[in-house]
Amino acid sequence: MRKKRYIFFSVTLIIMFLLLIARLVQLQLIETESYSKHHINLIEESVAQRTQEIIIDDGRGQFLDRNNQPLTYSEKSVLILFPFLKTMRWDSGKIASILEVSEDQLLDQIDKAKEPFVFSEIDPLILSDEQVEQINHLKIPGVFAVRKKFIEKNPLAAQFIGITGEQAETFLKRYPDKKGMQNQKIGITGLQKQFDEFLLPDGASKLVYHVDAMGGPLFGINVKYTGPSNPFFPVNIQTTLNKDLQDKLEKLVDQYKIKKGGVLLLDIEKNEILADVSRPKINPKHPYENNAVENLMLKQQIPGSIFKTVVAAASIETGVVKENEMFPCSEDLYEKPAERALGDLNFDESFSASCNRAFGDLAKRLKGKDPNLLEEYAKKLGLIGKISWQGDVYHFTDFRQLREDEGQVFSKEDSKVDDNFVAQTGIGQQEVRVTPLAVANMMATIARGGERQAVKAVSAIKYQDGTTMMDFPKQGNKDDSISKVTAMKLQGMLRHVVTSNQGTGRWFQNLPYEVAGKSGTAETGIYNENNQQLHNKWFAGYFPFNQPKYALVVVNLGVPENEGGINPLFSDIIQSIYEYDQ
């Protein structure tokens, strides 16, 4: 009996010993970089227990404007201090003298510190090159003057660039072969998401100090710098934005208190986005508040009379309108007295004054010829469908720079053959939905003489040393576009919107750049607490008229009919761009 107990006890010990060995093998050899369902990196965790460190650069790729100015970060020379200084004797007076601050201020911040930190009171104290040299010459343990990368808390073009965050589950779904790295930040919206795989870091750049159990320095004054070994990475994304224009336009949009809406500015020649302003503004602490992370310049909206440009193009090319034909513009779509008694107007005048009756009638004629014509011409003008650059990039097929809504003219086939529905569609109501990006693209297409191009948001991916990893070539589509003759007629009509005394754009007659464009006021069918219907107010155009350079869209969404006009904002933007160009 006793022998059996000995055998049982021995076997139990052997099993426990084998389990212990198996556990050690699991921890030390097999799952060192991806332990448990949480995929914990045990090597990194063990190093963290015996070091103090501060990140100089998190290693994620960043964004530049078209002139290589940083959009999402800034690099500054700052002073890094380690908390173990409070237990040492060191020449704090000399450092304070170099910094031109009081010694008490310096020691007070160190005394409060529990981990390495950037010296400051509120904002980091920026050092001159001379101060950097003087501080590092002293070789004081735990005192280092370095160049540190700071991520902007309130970056320009926040929705266009997008936000990042730590989402381990999303990371592993997106990159199942990168277990153990899931605590890195990934792109959640905007370009951050679209270009995420290019931006992922190989590792952070850090100042690392080995410490003993009491938190004191282990290796004297030796500090270890760790960072990616490949000098070409991380890559940076060179956007098409102009940082200076983006800044000017954001300030103007905020000056005019646009709560929902924004501005989109295109370079006509290259069809590149120069500025993208979306409001409401993102609150960095609560980015999803008011759904502010959405870039409204890429979201479909009701356009109102902006859509009459499509009806005009289709009417010209199909011949459903006669040059001197007159329209009863004192009547509405249903032959009742209109709110504006405009009298009888010809085709050009009807467009300038934005006569609903004329374009409701023309839409019905187009429907009689072919119910698909409105959709066909919306595509020819670059107003619906995929607008942004897309193509094969490395192992990505049909890679898209932007994820914009594709827009629509009709959502149901039945809508195309109903006279009343089609008439309302002709003035940009009912099921018509387009993005501000697409409206700007339409204006640029007309300004170029009908040549359609994909819109670019990014021009190149750049290595860390500034050389080009890849660029994004121009993409055009000449086969399915309006004729040059039609484009020229549309150009004249868009210009008359501004020059005509009855034109809805006459506000812009005296600007330093000659403007061509179209207004739009769309009913949304939504009412506020005062029972006022809310409207989308637009103006879209291009300038200078004779040598087109810019296409501009301004939109104020969901405002009462007698509030939120955007003409003063559009005007000030053109004035600001003119001054910038000079």
Euclidean distance between CA atoms 548 and 544, whole angstroms: 5
pLDDT of the residue at 398: 87
Query: What is the average per-residue pLDDT within 287-300?
Result: 95
Q: Residue 182: inside a domain, yes or no?
A: no
**443 and 322, same structural domain?**
yes
**Lowest mean per-residue pLDDT among 15-29, 50-64, 266-280, 398-412:** 15-29
Q: Residue 190: inside a domain, yes or no?
A: no
User: What is the number of domains present in the chain?
Assistant: 2
**267 and 135, same structural domain?**
no
Mean pLDDT comparison of 13-27, 143-157, 548-562, highest-scoring range: 548-562
**262 and 135, same structural domain?**
no
Within 204-273, residue ranges assigned H as helices are 243-255
**Lowest mean per-residue pLDDT among 11-20, 80-89, 186-195, 342-351:** 11-20
What type of residue sits at position 182? Q
Q: Residue 552: inside a domain, yes or no?
A: yes
Q: Residue 82: inside a domain, yes or no?
A: yes
Determine whether 305 is an active site residue.
Answer: yes
Identify the band that residue 44 occupies on the pLDDT scale cut at 50, 70 and 90. very low
Token look-up 């989402």 returns 167
Euclidean distance between CA atoms 163 and 63, whole angstroms: 12
The angle, 0 to 180 degrees and rounded to 10, between the axes of the packed helices 356-369 and 419-426 is: 120
> For residue 473, with 0-12 CB atoms within 10 Å meaning exposed, 13-18 middle and 19 or more buried, which class applies?
exposed
Q: Residue 513: inside a domain, yes or no?
A: yes
The residue from 151, 176, 206 where one domain ends is: 151
In the chain, what is the greatest distance between 2 CA atoms, to the nearest angstrom? 118
pLDDT of the residue at 37: 52
pLDDT of the residue at 36: 55
Query: What is the average per-residue pLDDT within 131-135?
Result: 96
**285 and 392, same structural domain?**
yes
Q: What are 222-237's pLDDT values in tens digits?
A: 667 777 767 778 899 9
Q: Is 516 in a helix, a strand, or coil? A: strand
Q: What are 108-127's pLDDT values in tens digits?
A: 999 999 889 999 867 889 99
254 phi, psi to nearest 5 deg: -70, -35
**250 and 123, same structural domain?**
no
**Lowest mean per-residue pLDDT among 34-38, 96-100, 361-365:** 34-38
Centre a 10 Å sphere on the Cβ of residue 140 and count the other Cβ atoms it contains: 18
Euclidean distance between CA atoms 117 and 54, whole angstroms: 7
More confident residue, 398 or 361: 361
The residue from 105, 128, 151 where one domain ends is: 151
Q: Residue 545: inside a domain, yes or no?
A: yes
The residue from 101, 133, 151 where one domain ends is: 151
Identify the band that residue 472 occupies on the pLDDT scale cut at 50, 70 and 90. very high
Could you say which DSSP state residue 513 is in? Answer: S
Q: What are 500-548's pLDDT values in tens digits?
A: 999 999 999 999 999 999 999 999 999 999 999 999 999 999 999 999 9
pLDDT of the residue at 46: 43
Catalytic residue among 92, 278, 305, 519: 305
Euclidean distance between CA atoms 547 and 449, whole angstroms: 12
Q: To the nearest whole number, what is the mean pLDDT of the chain? A: 90
Euclidean distance between CA atoms 451 and 343, whole angstroms: 35
Strand ranges for 245-400 from DSSP E: 261-267, 272-279, 326-328, 344-346, 390-393, 396-400
**252 and 126, same structural domain?**
no
pLDDT of the residue at 577: 98
Query: What is the average per-residue pLDDT within 73-85?
Result: 92
Identify the band that residue 181 occupies on the pLDDT scale cut at 50, 70 and 90. confident
Euclidean distance between CA atoms 355 and 347, whole angstroms: 9
Q: What angle do CA 543, 547, 551 make, to 5 degrees?
A: 30
**311 and 436, same structural domain?**
yes
**442 and 560, same structural domain?**
yes
Euclidean distance between CA atoms 276 and 556, whole angstroms: 14
Q: Please report, for the domain that includes residue 99, its CATH number.
A: 3.90.1310.10
Residue 412, domain extent: 243-581
Which positions ≥6 away from 208 have C-beta within 8 Å?
51, 52, 53, 223, 224, 225, 226
**368 and 504, same structural domain?**
yes
> How many CA within 13 A on the CB side of residue 282?
25
Euclidean distance between CA atoms 297 and 407, whole angstroms: 12
Q: Residue 166: inside a domain, yes or no?
A: no
Euclidean distance between CA atoms 364 and 378, whole angstroms: 16
Euclidean distance between CA atoms 555 and 576, whole angstroms: 18
Q: What angle do CA 559, 562, 563 make, to 5 degrees?
A: 45
Euclidean distance between CA atoms 342 and 362, whole angstroms: 18
Do 371 and 378 contact (CB within 8 A), yes or no? no
**133 and 274, same structural domain?**
no
The four Cα atoms 524, 526, 528, 531 give a dihedral, to 10 degrees, of 100
**444 and 337, same structural domain?**
yes
Q: Which helix (H) or strand (E) holds 524?
A: strand 516-527
**130 and 257, same structural domain?**
no
Which positions ≥6 away from 195 have C-beta within 8 Å?
61, 187, 237, 458, 461
State the DSSP string of 325-353.
-EEETTB-TTSSBPSS---EEEHHHHHHH
Nearest to 157 by CA among 94, 66, 77, 228: 66
Euclidean distance between CA atoms 280 and 293, whole angstroms: 9
Q: Please report, for the domain that includes residue 341, its CATH number.
A: 3.40.710.10
Q: Residue 24: inside a domain, yes or no?
A: no
